Amino acid sequence: MSQNDNLSPLLVVLRDLVEWLKASHTPGVVIGGVAASVLGRPRFTQDVDALVLLDNNDWAEFLSSGTQLGFVTRISNALDFATKNRILLLRHESSGIDVDISLGVLPFEEEAVSSAMWVEVGGVKIPLPPPEDLIIMKAVARRPRDIVDIESIMDANPNLNVGRIKMWVREFSSVLEMPEILTDLEAILSHKRKKKL
């Protein structure tokens, strides 16, 4: 019996991803739906998202080292795409699960990765950002499911540093010239306060 037999495909991807980050000495955290499910309420997710800190000159070598663990590009010009969009679009070959790796460069992203918490999920230890930082990422993304995730993370983590969340969301809101990012967050916080009363 192989060690994969008792792991779900998603856990196999997470295990291989962590092994890849460790082998390549690349600091990173798992984000997206997987992180939201662990730090908030479990929800269905069919892909894996990660944020890593990697010098531009090391992208090709990092990508090459991932192939040994079954991570392959899912578009032909993956490095060109990454240069323009700061994201590597990959697939974990044996499971068929898509993996999106964001290539962090912002001070906020550096802080999120340097504050990583290691959490065991189904027998696999994965690095996650602090719940505050995942909320900030999701506030900026602001898709309907991100709003739901923010609420579930807040419910599961009552002692959040709300000041940090507001500071960074205000910053992103200003830089991106999208006041609605901050407005959405304020609405969620207001709703949470009313529920407590």
Please list the pLDDT of the chain residue by residue as tens digits (197 residues).
234 456 799 999 999 999 999 999 999 999 999 999 999 999 888 899 999 999 999 999 999 999 999 999 999 999 999 999 999 999 999 999 999 999 999 999 999 999 999 999 999 999 999 999 999 999 999 999 999 999 999 999 999 999 999 999 999 999 999 999 999 999 999 887 777 65
Six token digits for residue 194: 């009313």
- Check if the beta carbon of residue 57 is closer than 8 Å to that of residue 83: no
Rg of the chain in Å (alpha carbons): 17
Cα distance between residue 40 and residue 103, in whole Å: 24
Sheet holding 97-104, edge to edge: 28-31, 47-53, 97-104, 87-92, 71-73
Per DSSP, the residues of 148-166 read HHHHHHHHH-TT--HHHHH
DSSP 57: G
The type of residue at 167 is M
Give dist(CA 149, CA 33) in Å, integer. Answer: 8
Intra-chain end-to-end CA distance of the chain, in Å: 54
Domain 1-129 of CATH type 3.40.50.2300: no
